[in-house]
Every structure is written in structure tokens, then in C-alpha cells.
Structure 1
């Protein structure tokens, strides 16, 4: 069940962030996404990004295990853009700093239109 939910979330959304509310790396990844998306005209954070806060869900541990099985990484945040795993907090920040993150999200959003 958790694996199916994770697969659906990744397939059905432009960007998915599996996160925990108290995690500083998760906060950093979400801020990097928000900053990158603020540069785009046709894509907004609110419409493009789905955040799954694992610590707020009763099935959070099962979801985190399912996400780890997909990405090969056990820790959060885990960010998927256009169905592909792009990494965690530092990875997302690096993509944002070099301008690649906005392009990735724009491409993924356009392919879903």
C-alpha cells in the first residue's frame, strides 16, 4: 500500500518532496524549490510542488521505507522532479544555485500539460 502511494505521488505530480516538518535539510530543500520556482512565469510552488510531511502521517514510517526503496536513500528530504529522483537538501540547493532546478521543473510541468 505505501509503495503504491509513493509511486502514484511520484508519477502524478510535477515535483514531490518527501519531508519531515522539523528537519532543517527538508526546510532547505523546500526553500530552494520555492526560490527556483519564483523565477518561472508559468509554474508556481503551490501548483507544482506536492509536499508529503512524513512526520504528520500515521503511515509516515511505511512511506519513508517505500521512498527509500525507490531512491536508495534512507534519509529525508527526498525530492522527485518529473518522476526522477534528484536528491536531498544539498542536491536541490546545488541545482537551484546553478539554475538547473527551475529548468527541470519547467520541463516537467510542460510535459504534464
Structure 2
């Protein structure tokens, strides 16, 4: 968990992902379309990926899925469902602005 916290605080937006996950791809694309350049950590390409995935599940990122796990401003926001809800209700832009991920 310490490694996740450290990585999550290195940039305004950090996404823990798997390169083969379609929901991860959709969330990454959403952030790119917002003008955000997130730091991406592909767990399936990391030697400690399984360990981080278990820690993300304990964090409560999802009942059955650990990824995508999105951190904004160093704080855990949630997985795809939460991020999409924030986007649809207009709250995501404010979070991104407050974290310094976007300027508009």
C-alpha cells in the first residue's frame, strides 16, 4: 500500500490499469479527451503488479475489480463507475482543475 500511495502522489492524475482491460482503456481515453496527461501504471506489466492489485482491492476500489483505480490529487477517487458518474454529473472537471491537471 505504501508503494501505491507514493505512486499516486507523483502526478495530478494517476491510473492503475491493466493493458488488456477494456474499461481501463475507456477511462484512460476519457482523461486524454479532457486534456489530462495521467500517469499510467499497468499492473500486468509490473513485477509487483499482483501485490499492488491486491492492495487496491483492499482499498475498496471495487467488489470484484481492482482496476481501473483512479487517483486525483493523490486521493483515491474510485473505479470506472465512479469516474463515469463524476464525468456525467460535471464534477470530474472541478476535481481535475483543483488538482492542477487542467487549467480550463
TM-score above 0.5? yes
- Which of the pair has the greater relative contact order for Cα pairs under 8 Å at 6+ separation? 1
- CA–CA separation in structure 2 for the residues paired with 1:86 and 1:77: 11
Contact kept, 8 Å, 2:15 with 2:70, in 1: the verdict is yes
CA deviation after TM superposition for structure 1 residue 59, in Å: 1.0
- May I ask how many residue pairs the two structures share in their alignment? 99
Q: Does 1:57 align with 2:57?
A: no
Q: Deviations over 1:36-68 (max 9, x none)?
A: 2x3xxxxxx23xx11110011111100111222
2:92 pairs with one of 95, 98, 101? 101
Give unpaired runs (5+ residues) of structure 1. 39-44
Residues of 1 paired with 2:84 and 2:61: CA distance?
Answer: 20
Runs of 4+ in 1 over 3 A off after TM superposition: none
